[in-house]
Chains A and B, each alone.
Chain A
Amino acid sequence: MSAPHRHGGEPAVGPPGDGAPTPAGPALPPGREEEPLPDDHSAVGRLAATVERLREEVRAAHAAAEGRALIELAKGVIVERLGCGPAQAAKQLAELAGQAGLSQLELAADIINQAAHDRVAEVAEGFVRAVRQPDGPGTAGTGPDAGGPDAQVNAGGTGATGAAAAGDSVAVRLRTAESAALNAGDSQAVAESLLEHALAPLGAVAVAIWTTGPDASLTLCGHAGFGADEPARWRYVPPGVATVAREALTARRTVRFPSLGAAGVPSIGHTRHPDGGRVAVPAGTGGRIHGVLEICWHRPLEPQPQAVERQIEALAELCAHTLETLPVQPVPTRALSSAAAGASELVELADGLYDPALVLTPHLDGEGRLRDFRIRHANEHFQDPAGRSRGAVDGALLLEAYPTTAGENELFERIERVYATGEPFRARRTRLTALVDQVPLASAADLSISRHGDSVLLIWRIEDESARLASLLQHAQRLGRIGGFEEDVLTGEITWNGQLFDLFGRDLTEGPVSLRDLTAHAHPDDEVAIGRFLQAVLHQRRASSAAFRMLRRDGVTRHIRVIAEPSLGADERLLAVRGAYQDISAQHWTEVALAATRDQLAVTEQESAERNRLALQLQHAIMPPTTAPLDAPGLDVAVRYRPAETESLVGGDWYDAVVLPSKKILLCVGDIAGHGIEAATGMVVLRNALRGLAVTGAGPGQLLSWLNNVAHHLTAQVTATAVCGVFDPSTRTLRWARAGHLPPVLVRGDRAAKLPLLQGLLLGALAEAEYEEAEIQLEPDDTVLMYTDGLVERRDTSVHDSLDQLLATAQTPADGLERRLDLLLTHSKSDTDDDTCLIGVRVT
């Protein structure tokens, strides 16, 4: 979209509505060559008339659109202020204008000025005050003509005359320029609009808008009033060439040349207006100079009233906004990609660097001033000196992430300067300060700061290796969620790092928790594990670790692993304990998830294998497979324990043979129903219970009755069978009873016979049970065998038949008791892969 009007090389105050919107304005004198020649008879003439009519419509539409934009804006203000609808606002605007004797457009500009209270309004008010003063300075070039364009745009004008009218028209003019500039599609249109609406009334004849490149070069991106050839020649000003615009850029302020020729400074249009005055204003927003607005007068420039200067500054600001928001389209065809280098390209560049780098973009406050820089990207090699993760820094504001950069001569100021001027900054061994756990840590770094497009690239290399390592360690601790501690055992002094307070959810002021008080912060079920850990570290003085569930006051449960090692003095005395807590919660849940999804089977198998091994170890520990448990007078005792071949079936078989205080001998074989660790622990309970009960001197029936009670009240509903005998060596009598168990076998001479099936319920089935008791008088060389059903149980044979086979094996001659037991095991026909327990006693 191009501007509605285009003025030629002449002073632009000519009558409106002249030049056709042809791009080559200056080539055509603003004459009437294209006025329709009303030759109605020629087709060409009709076509020409139509084209002109259409052009007129377009022009009127543009003019109306600019005015309408202001009126719409004002209506918006009224809607907001009065809380009415748009139609009512339009009516209100028309009525108010009528009452005030103003055009709607003028009133709209007033309303917006009041609402906006911005620079434009200020300038307009100032201007009004200035021109109302009778002897106010002549506002060079702002003659009565100034109302011209406005009146035209207004399509109605007002009856007001004189200074007031001139002042009012400034407001309209500036607002119109602003509105046009904001609606303009490119900076060229902005330049044309500025000249027409705002600068021509000030007597200026031409305007140039320069944009600054990343290398501080200047590119012409908009112009009006310079003719056709001159802008092409001045399309690009390399860095270092001192022009009017360059002076403004370097000085970062408005520069003024009353006469260009007298100053001897080259610039665009200096041949056409050699003695004309020039003003160049840096156009910047938020601390960044985007370009320069250069205004050209035909005649030498007299000192201007302050109001005009401020007006020009307001226009430069307007320019800056458009330069900032519009894509840069240089007048010549030459590409200017570097100026538009996107932050994304910079991010890629940063990622390609081997040093830490940040990509920063400006962060403006509500009023458009540069307040801070946003960390747009932290590259792969970025290491936060304070140990935070990249993610914690990425996207943060620079001053918030690194408050210490704000100091005098510090990083922030350097970045600000580079951003404003585009001049890169490079220095070796620059001091950088960072807070590491609230402790300022200064380190020397090589710095490089450069501006690319709208972003700043900050690269540094920290020289101090130890500082880097310290930061790495911090980093690792945070990442691993590890908190270190040291406890001086002698003084009781405890040192924690900050991370550990976080882990415990404790405030720094509350102080650390001693290892000895750890159980108070742990799940009750983990007390045993912690107790073992403390015993290992504090008493056995060896490094140890434990995992426990930490119960934090905030209700959070964390899975924590604590690792500690004792520090011993020269005299082997415990001086201190050092260690670390690690939050393994994440790890823990990952493991849980893994177990649930992938490894469940394997884990379960492994666990049960471990449990089964434990059961077997328990069995072995309590009942050595072959060792005779005792050397009893008058009695040979031999035992065999054969665990099930399948580890998972290792069960609760047990035997016992012990000399009681009464010199009688307790003999027992039992079998807990079930397998695995539960059966094995049940076995231990019953075996030990029976030993204890037997000390009372009670008979086997009574013992089993008590033992039944024990079994019945075990938490896991345990049932067991057992046979229990008490042998009196003095009389060679065996009193016995059984609880659901196979009866003992008596081998006398070459005959084997099972003892009678006494009444006796298996243990644990009922709360109370009674057990029949019998006594047998043994003779020398008699052998009594007690056994568990692993010895006889077969799926395809009744117990009755199996027992018969056992008896047959038992009565085959054997060379001694041990040999007999071996024989029995060897010839066992059992096929159930059960545990087998066998105890044999031989009267001597």
Chain B
Amino acid sequence: MPEREVNLDVEVEIHDADTAVVSVGGELDIETATMLHHHLANQFLHGRRHLVLDLSALDFMDSSGLNVLIRAGRDARESGGDLHLAAPTPAVRRILEITGLTMTTPLHADVADALVAAGHEG
């Protein structure tokens, strides 16, 4: 099997006690989805129930990646928080639209908008 290099960058910025901004860059696929899931689960574990995912540097996402977003959204709702997606690239945005994820998870033009929405909703 041709091993692809793991190509996903995840950076976490703590915005406040219960809000974190997670920047996701590279390719979110079957190889990297678990890694992102661990990052997000870790945030929930620390009480950050409002998560903003900055997708501006995410070039590719497949169904495994989608599943991570779906689970994150579910986890956030269960802990009384929410998940916001910010600034997806056209390719990723298209996937989100096709799969209908835009119906369950709010999409924002940028992180600032997302944070406002997160604070407002939180």
Contact = CB atoms under 8 A, between A and B. Distances in A.
Given A798-B94, A799-B91, A800-B94, A765 B62 contact: no
Given A761-B103, A766-B104, A799 B98 contact: yes
Interface string A790-811: 0001010111100000000000
Given A721-B99, A761-B104, A798 B70 contact: no
Interface in B68-100: 70-71, 73-74, 90-91, 94-95, 97-100
5 contacts: A673-B66, A674-B64, A719-B70, A762-B66, A789-B63
B67 interface: yes
Q: State which size class the interface on A falls in.
A: 20 to 34
A761 B94 contact: no
Contact of B62 (A739, A760, A766, A793): A793
A800 B97 CA distance: 11
Nearest to B100: A761
Contacts of B60: 795
Given A648-B1, A798-B90, A800-B94, A760 B100 contact: yes
B83 to A, nearest CB: 12
Contact of B90 (A674, A740, A800): A800
A797 B60 CA distance: 9
Contact of B70 (A765, A789, A797): A765
A88 interface: no
Contacts of B73: 765
A696 interface: no
Contact of B71 (A671, A717, A742, A769): A717
B110 interface: no
Given A798-B91, A800-B90, A832 B98 contact: no
Nearest to A799: B94
Residue among A760, A761, A789, A797 with the highest chain B CB neighbour number at 10 A: A761
Interface string A705-730: 00000000000010101000000000
Instruction: Among B1, B63, B73, B101, find the residue whose CB has the most chain A CB atoms closer than 10 A.
Output: B63
Nearest to B71: A717
B59 interface: yes
B30 A675 contact: yes
A764 B100 CA distance: 12
A115 B34 CA distance: 84
Given A646-B1, A795-B27, A795-B59, A742 B66 contact: no
B98 A757 contact: yes
B101 A765 contact: yes
A540 interface: no
A741 interface: yes
Contacts of A617: none
Given A646-B1, A800-B94, A674 B104 contact: no
Contacts of B98: 721, 740-742, 757, 799
A719 B66 contact: yes
A792 to B, nearest CB: 11
A671 B64 CA distance: 12
Given A719-B67, A721-B63, A795-B59, 7 more contacts: A673-B64, A673-B66, A673-B67, A765-B74, A765-B101, A798-B90, A799-B95
Contacts of A793: 62
B76 to A, nearest CB: 13
A711 B99 CA distance: 15
Interface string B27-62: 101100000000000000000000000000001101
Contacts, number: 74
Main secondary structure, interface of A, reads loop
Given A740-B98, A798-B94, A799-B91, A759 B103 contact: yes
A761 B70 CA distance: 11
A762 B100 contact: yes
Contacts of A674: 30, 63-64, 67
B60 to A, nearest CB: 5
Q: List the 3 closest pairs (A to B, CB-CB), nearest first.
A: A761-B100, A740-B99, A798-B91
Contacts of A762: 66, 70, 99-101
Contacts of B30: 649, 674-675
Nearest to B89: A798
Contacts of B71: 717
B10 to A, nearest CB: 19
Nearest to A766: B104
Contacts of A769: 100
A721 B30 CA distance: 16
Interface residues of B, number: 26
B104 A765 contact: yes
A256 B1 CA distance: 100
Interface in A783-840: 789, 793, 795, 797-800, 832, 834
A760 B64 CA distance: 18
Contacts of B59: 795
A795 B92 CA distance: 11
A529 to B, nearest CB: 32
B103 A832 contact: no
Nearest to A741: B98
A759 B104 CA distance: 12
Interface string A624-647: 000000000000000000000010
A789 B95 CA distance: 11
Given A648-B1, A717-B71, A798-B91, A739 B100 contact: yes
A173 B70 CA distance: 105
Contacts of B97: 757
Nearest to A673: B63
Nearest to B69: A765
A740 B62 contact: no
Contact of A759 (B1, B94, B100): B100
Nearest to B91: A798
Interface in A220-274: none
Most buried by B among A721, A797, A798: A798
Contacts of B103: 759, 761
Interface in A758-787: 759-762, 764-766, 769
B19 to A, nearest CB: 23
A719 B63 CA distance: 8
Contact of B63 (A671, A757, A760, A800): A671
A795 B60 CA distance: 6
Contacts of B74: 765
Contacts of A765: 70, 73-74, 100-101, 104
A342 B71 CA distance: 78
Interface in A273-294: none
Contacts of B94: 798-800
B42 to A, nearest CB: 19
Contacts of A648: 1
Contacts of A739: 100
Contacts of B100: 739-740, 759-762, 765, 769
A762 B101 CA distance: 7
Nearest to A679: B63
> Which of A646, A740, A759, A766 gathers most chain B CB within 10 Å?
A740
A795 B7 CA distance: 12
Contacts of A649: 30
A761 B99 contact: yes
A834 B29 CA distance: 12
A673 B70 CA distance: 12
B104 to A, nearest CB: 6
Interface string B8-32: 0000000000000000000101100
A648 B3 CA distance: 12
Contacts of A799: 91, 94-95, 98
Contacts of A719: 63, 66-67, 70
Nearest to A832: B62
B1 A740 contact: no
B112 to A, nearest CB: 25
B56 to A, nearest CB: 15
